[in-house]
């Protein structure tokens, strides 16, 4: 056993939706460090997509499009099928959020978020099933990694109703998809990020020190944290982790003590 046997992604082809920035880009950087053969990234903004692909090198290939609709998913699948006859790794990372007061929360803010965060991962994985099974075997399974959130595991203080519901739904959907796809040697898991700097989490991006105060590890996440977690699940090291959600949050969910924590002696 050696590190390459455990974590190498040599010879594998991946697709990372929403891969031009934020958490998606961190995952792409991790895959590149692990020696991946090719990684396709998607985004709606073509200039941002091309800039990221140019910066990260020839192994990164951009496909512009909007996968919030089934038509957009079909277009992406067609583009991938034109270039590849197999897909080893799919990362369902593209997502949306919406915040509004409970009494004013709009239907548009519900449908947009639920469609992209829950509907798209299911149907995109379904539509890529042929390519995933072409890559999959008992010795080297294909991998699907859904990017969920700690907001699907606990209630946060923000009025992001559809976002929190969508991430909880995707965590459970990960388990259900895993139960079905494991027989095809396609292993489904998820990563639940905490505070990572991105356009979606502007507090972690623009107020890093302030954000870190509420995290047990006292820092926000970075590309090593996210890239390393994704490489673990995508590589041989993660082959026995199926249907699980890997929480990558510096301790927010599982190591955060209540404000008033009673010690064994009964003190405060």
Task: Establish if 258 belongs to a structural domain.
Answer: no
Rounded CA Rg of the chain:
19
DSSP sequence for 220-249: ---HHHHHHHHHHHHSGGGTT--S-EEEES
State the Cα torsion 17-21-26-30 to the nearest 10°: 60
Name the residue with tokens 């507090």. Answer: 203
The mean pLDDT of the chain is 92
Residue 204 has pLDDT above 70, yes or no: no
Task: Establish if 253 belongs to a structural domain.
Answer: no
* pLDDT tens-digit map of 64-75: 999 999 999 999
* pLDDT tens-digit map of 73-107: 999 999 999 999 999 999 999 999 999 999 999 99
Tokens matching residue 226 = 């996210």
189 Cβ contact partners less than 8 Å away, ≥ 6 residues apart: 143, 144, 145, 146, 174, 178, 233, 238, 241, 242, 243, 244, 245, 246
pLDDT for 19: 97
Tell me the residue range of the domain where 219 lies.
3-248
CB-CB contact of 191 with 229 (8 Å): yes
* CATH code at position 138: 3.40.50.720
Task: Establish if 256 belongs to a structural domain.
Answer: no
Candidate from 8-12, 43-47, 253-257 with smallest mean pLDDT: 253-257
pLDDT for 265: 43
- Verify whether residue 161 is a known catalytic residue: no
Task: Establish if 254 belongs to a structural domain.
Answer: no
pLDDT for 214: 77
Task: Establish if 267 belongs to a structural domain.
Answer: no
* pLDDT tens-digit map of 145-191: 999 999 999 998 999 999 999 999 999 999 999 999 999 999 999 99
pTM of the model: 0.93
Q: Give the pLDDT band (50/70/90) at residue 29.
A: very high
Q: What average pLDDT does range 126-151 have in this prediction?
A: 98
Strand 89-92: give its sheet, edge to edge.
60-64, 38-43, 13-16, 89-92, 142-147, 186-193, 245-248
Residue 205 has pLDDT above 60, yes or no: no
Q: Give the pLDDT band (50/70/90) at residue 215.
A: confident
pLDDT for 212: 74
SS3 category, 64:
strand
pLDDT for 27: 98
SS3 category, 268:
coil
Q: Give the pLDDT band (50/70/90) at residue 218.
A: confident
Q: Give the pLDDT band (50/70/90) at residue 203.
A: low
Strands (E), the chain: 13-16, 38-43, 60-64, 89-92, 142-147, 186-193, 245-248
pLDDT for 31: 98
Task: Establish if 266 belongs to a structural domain.
Answer: no
Q: Give the pLDDT band (50/70/90) at residue 202.
A: low
What distance, in Å, lies between the first and last C-alpha atoms of the chain? Answer: 49
For the chain, the domain total comes to: 1
Task: Pick the more confident residue, 196 or 133.
Answer: 133
Among candidate residues 215, 218, 244, the one with its CA nearest the CA of residue 229: 244
The one catalytic residue in 40, 102, 161, 163 is 163
Task: Establish if 49 belongs to a structural domain.
Answer: yes
CB-CB contact of 18 with 92 (8 Å): no
Distance, in Å, from the CA atom of 227 to the CA atom of 22, rounded to the nearest integer, reads 11
pLDDT for 259: 52
pLDDT for 264: 42
Task: Establish if 101 belongs to a structural domain.
Answer: yes
Burial class, 240, CB count within 10 angstroms (exposed 0-12 / middle 13-18 / buried 19+): exposed
């Amino acid at each position: 056993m050696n590190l390459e046997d455990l974590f190498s992604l040599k010879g594998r082809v991946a697709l990372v939706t929403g891969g031009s920035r934020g958490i998606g880009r961190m995952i792409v950087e991790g895959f590149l460090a692990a020696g991946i053969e090719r990684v396709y990234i998607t985004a709606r903004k073509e200039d941002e997509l091309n800039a990221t692909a140019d910066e990260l090198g020839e192994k990164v290939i951009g496909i512009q499009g909007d996968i919030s609709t089934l038509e957009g998913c079909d277009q992406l699948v067609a583009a991938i099928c034109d270039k590849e006859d197999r897909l080893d790794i799919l990362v369902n990372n593209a997502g949306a959020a919406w915040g509004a007061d409970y009494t004013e929360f709009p239907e548009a803010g519900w449908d947009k978020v639920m469609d992209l965060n829950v509907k798209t991962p299911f149907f995109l994985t379904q539509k890529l099933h042929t390519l995933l099974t072409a890559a999959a075997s008992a010795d080297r399974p294909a991998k699907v990694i859904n990017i969920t959130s700690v907001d699907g595991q606990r209630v946060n203080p923000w009025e992001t109703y559809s976002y929190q519901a969508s991430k909880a739904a995707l965590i459970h959907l990960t388990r259900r998809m895993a139960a079905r796809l494991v027989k095809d040697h396609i292993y489904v898991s998820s990563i639940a990020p905490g505070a990572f700097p991105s356009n979606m989490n502007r507090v972690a991006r623009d107020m890093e020190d302030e954000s870190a105060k509420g995290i047990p590890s006292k820092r926000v996440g970075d590309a090593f944290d996210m890239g390393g977690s994704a490489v673990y699940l995508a590589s041989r090291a993660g082959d026995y982790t199926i249907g699980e959600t890997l929480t990558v949050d510096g301790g927010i969910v599982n190591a955060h003590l209540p404000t008033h924590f009673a010690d064994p002696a009964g003190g405060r």
